[in-house]
Amino acid sequence: MDSPLVPFGRPPTERADAARNREVLLCTARAMIAELGAEHVTMDGLAERAGLGKGTVFRRFGTRAGIFRALLDAEEQRFQCEVLSGPPPLGPGGDPVDRLIAYGRARTRFLLERHEIARASFERKGPVPPAVGPNFSGPHIRMLLAQAALGLPDPDTLSLQLASALEGPALLFLVADLPPEGRAGCGQDDLGTLLADGWQTLIERIARR
């Protein structure tokens, strides 16, 4: 009857109970984040509320940041799908400069909407946040820059820096814990507009020939 949507999940690797527990933990985590805010979600609390042992939580996610990474990954995948196979200007097919601009707009919105989780997904030791960050943005920007044939030297470094310009403000340099209603004078939407427009200016200037 309830045949699984995915015919064979991960062939030999991952037991059914493990998968189930992963889901339970992810759901519980989402609920706790919504309720308490990401920074008040503790591993003990999560385990207890999910009805599981602490060891299980760590086995599944390795580290506290791992939980938030896992949470992001799911949404990140949908985002990447849109970028890689959606309609233009975001998806393939349009002018690369337009795609760069559209990508920045979409990414800005994506990160701002999730910045609490994104920030929580950083490891305190260890270098790069494995899922967020330039791991997708960098290469994607790099590809579009190449397609745009702007004659730029060292597109590798440049795309890293552009990715940083795009993601840094949301991840690093912005007030993280704006209480639910937003900040005085500048809501999240306004901020998103400002950043998106700034990105567009940046790209237009760089692409100008």
The residues of the shown chain that bind DNA, judged by CB under 7 A, are 12, 14-18, 20-21, 41-44, 51-56, 58-60, 62-65, 123-124
Measured from the CB atom, the residue of 32 and 163 that comes closer to DNA is 32
| Tokens encoding 18 | 């493990």
In the complex, the smallest distance separating the C-beta of residue 35 from a copy of itself, rounded to whole angstroms, is 17
Which of a copy of itself, DNA, none does residue 161 bind (CB under 5 to 8 Å by kind)? Answer: a copy of itself
Residues 6+ apart with CB under 8 A from 93: 87
Q: Distance (Å, rounded) from C-alpha 153 to C-alpha 64?
A: 39
Binding track over 136-165 against a copy of itself, x by CB under 8 A: --x-------------xxx-xxx-xxxxxx
Cα 22 to its chain centre, rounded Å, is: 20
Number of residues this chain uses to bind a copy of itself (CB under 8 A): 43
Which of DNA, a copy of itself, none does residue 127 bind (CB under 5 to 8 Å by kind)? Answer: a copy of itself
Q: Distance (Å, rounded) from C-alpha 195 to C-alpha 201?
A: 10
What is the sign, positive or negative, of the torsion defined by CA atoms of 86, 80, 190, 38? positive
Q: Distance (Å, rounded) from C-alpha 43 to C-alpha 40?
A: 10
Provide the binding-site residues for a copy of itself, judged by CB under 8 A.
39, 124-129, 133-134, 138, 152-154, 156-158, 160-169, 171-177, 194-195, 197-199, 201-202, 205-206, 208
